[in-house]
Structure 1
Amino acid sequence: MQLKYVFSETGNGLKRNVSMTIALVVTIFISLTLVGLGLLLNAQANKAEDYWGSKLQISVVLCNQNSRSPHCTSGETNPAQQAAIVDILNTHPEVASYSYETKAQAFKTWKKIYVSKDAEERQIYAAVTENDMQNSYRVTLKDPQQYRGVESALSGMDGVDKVNDLRDVLQPILTTFNKMKWGALVVAAFLLLAAVLQVSNAIRLAAFARRKEIGIMRLVGASNLYISLPFLMETLVAAVIGVAGAALAVGGVMYFFVYGNLRPDLHVVEWVSWRDAGTALAEVAALGILATLIPTLVTTRKYLKV
């Protein structure tokens, strides 16, 4: 087999179908970039679940004078009620440990969180005092997924205003990650389908443009692979360029966004790493090559009839 001829025909084919090649490269680039970002978002969602899975707590908020819960009819939680709550925490099989947060500690934390530049809001916040806060217990669970039992046991007790679950705060974040992930993957799937159709169309046009050459090659006994290889090389070049562009785009997101902003400034979760990006890019590269070579092999058999 004359490789010089194969490479020569590959170059001629790329020059002959410049616009089609560019369109194919752009489609592959955008679709694979979205696939890569979807895989990163999937890895990030998994890391967030793993990171918070061992840190999820429930907060048992005790009654104060302002509580309106039906279990707070006596106002502040009295010592007998508090002792009953502690007894549940000490004996319940789902509880690993717990800590007590006083009104003073809650007020200190509240002042750090509720900071506003708005003058009216600052006046409202200034009226809040330590006595308006509530004592609470922070409960760490043996299994973060097993929490319904202790939650139901505590929420119905006298002296308990409410039982807060950190999942209520984190679930919207995890849901957002999942929606972004599936959104990127769905759009990428449509674009990959467009890339496959473009490959088929490009092969059909290229075969029509070279019909005389292909006929001569059949007459002289050229093998199927020899006739098909230039077409395979053309789509492979487009795939490699598209994969390279997607790798640069995903790498840019990691460098400028994740490592440039999120990791240094936000320490609320473990963020995706270069290793996760490398895994995503390896999957993207494999998908990009397969998404172009497979339809090329199928299409050449149809249009070249070799």
Structure 2
Amino acid sequence: MRFFFLLGEAFSGIRQNLSIVVSVVLVTFISLGFVGAAGLLQLQINQMKGYWYDRVEVAIFLCTETSPSSTCAAGAVTEADRQAIEDKLTSDEAEPYVKSYEYESQEEALELFQEQFANSSISDSVTAEQLPASFRVALKDPEQYEAINELFGSMNGVEVVSDQRELLEQVFSLMNMASLVAVSIAVIMLVAATLLIATTIRLSAFTRHREVVIMRLVGASKAMIQTPFVLEGLIAALLGALLASVSTWALAHYGLSGWLAEQYPSTGFIGGTEALQVIPLLFGIAILLTAVSSMLTLRKYLNV
């Protein structure tokens, strides 16, 4: 019975300060929306790392007649050089590191280049002789790139040993930066939400000061007096968290695993199931916001 009384008092305060409460809901929704977006981005980064790092390859590019590298001073790779590299790939020395490998000739490299740049005029100006042949090496442990570089980097006919992780790291660094920006914006918005919740509690305390005095005079405890005001802020914050949770789930389900997955079918995207991992965090932050706002407000404005 006491709980329903306190809840009724809280809704009474919400009606009296409806415009402020709506503002709290919207600011909390936006701020937690950024938190949800940052959480989804981190989940997506982790999934992509797990997927691509297992498939990362090391490319051993071979010298051409036009290679500018100092390791290609003798000219293009010879058939003997190429065979020596392939023999080493199958040797006991490389066995602990090499999972599998494929040879890509200059003609095959040109075909791939023309496919990638089919809509660009540059595809017609490049010849097979300008592109290096290469060995594409899949590693047993993607972290063992340096071992492959040491084994093959100084061999005759090798222009450069390239680790695809370098490109992946650049992509993931940009995604991490975007996640950091989202978190930074979320922190600013969460501070604004905290102040708005505190303002809501403060306004309720001012408009119902007489009721507070009467309750105190008849022996009501501080907890009984303060609870309705805390509930006002909590209800507003939880509504914002609910909206943010629905938006986060919809973004993952319809945006990532829906539209983006159709556009990029070769990439694994997270979906609504993974988004459920973020939702408890959003509600937890909403409760924390209310607790901090209450601490900032109740002692000062409800002492009678």
**TM-score normalised by length of structure 2:** 0.91
Aligned to 2:231: 233
Determine if contact 2:253/2:271 at 8 Å carries over to the other structure.
no
Is 2:123 aligned against 1:125?
yes
Amino-acid identity (%): 33
Is 2:194 aligned against 1:191?
no
1:187-226 alignment runs, 5 A limit: 187-226=185-224
Aligned to 1:96: 99
Deviating more after overlay: 125-134 vs 58-67: 125-134
Aligned to 1:16: 16
Q: Which amino acid aligns with 1:25?
A: V
Q: Helix, strand or coil: the match of 2:61? A: strand
Is 2:293 aligned against 1:290?
no
Aligned to 2:34: 34
CA distance in 2, matches of 1:275, 1:4: 35
Q: Which amino acid aligns with 1:80?
A: A
How many Å apart are 1:3 and its aligned residue?
Answer: 4.2
Deviating more after overlay: 9-18 vs 215-224: 9-18
CA distance in 2, matches of 1:127, 1:189: 51
| Runs of 5+ consecutive residues of structure 2 not aligned to the other structure | none
Determine if contact 1:232/1:297 at 8 Å carries over to the other structure.
no
Determine if contact 2:257/2:270 at 8 Å carries over to the other structure.
no
CA distance in 2, matches of 1:168, 1:264: 27
How many Å apart are 1:247 and its aligned residue?
Answer: 1.8
How many Å apart are 1:33 and its aligned residue?
Answer: 0.3
**TM-score normalised by length of structure 1:** 0.90
Q: Which amino acid aligns with 1:239?
A: A
2:303 to 284, 287, 305: 305
Q: Which amino acid aligns with 1:143?
A: D
Q: What's the CA shift string for 1:45-95, capped at 9, x where partnerless?
A: 111111111111110011122222222233221133223323442322432
How many Å apart are 1:229 and its aligned residue?
Answer: 1.9
1:52-201 alignment runs, 5 A limit: 52-89=52-89, 90=91, 91-92=93-94, 93-116=96-119, 121=121, 124-201=122-199
Deviating more after overlay: 67-76 vs 1-10: 1-10
Q: 1:158 to 1:150 in 2, by over 3 A?
A: same
CA distance in 1, matches of 2:113, 2:103: 16
Deviating more after overlay: 68-77 vs 27-36: 68-77
How many Å apart are 1:298 and its aligned residue?
Answer: 5.5
Q: 1:127 to 1:179 in 2, by over 3 A?
A: closer
Determine if contact 2:237/2:286 at 8 Å carries over to the other structure.
yes
How many residue pairs match? The answer is: 301
Q: Helix, strand or coil: the match of 1:279? A: coil
Q: Which amino acid aligns with 2:116?
A: I
Q: 1:3 to 1:285 in 2, by over 3 A?
A: closer
Q: What's the CA shift string for 1:246-281, capped at 9, x where partnerless?
A: 123223322442133211121343211212111111
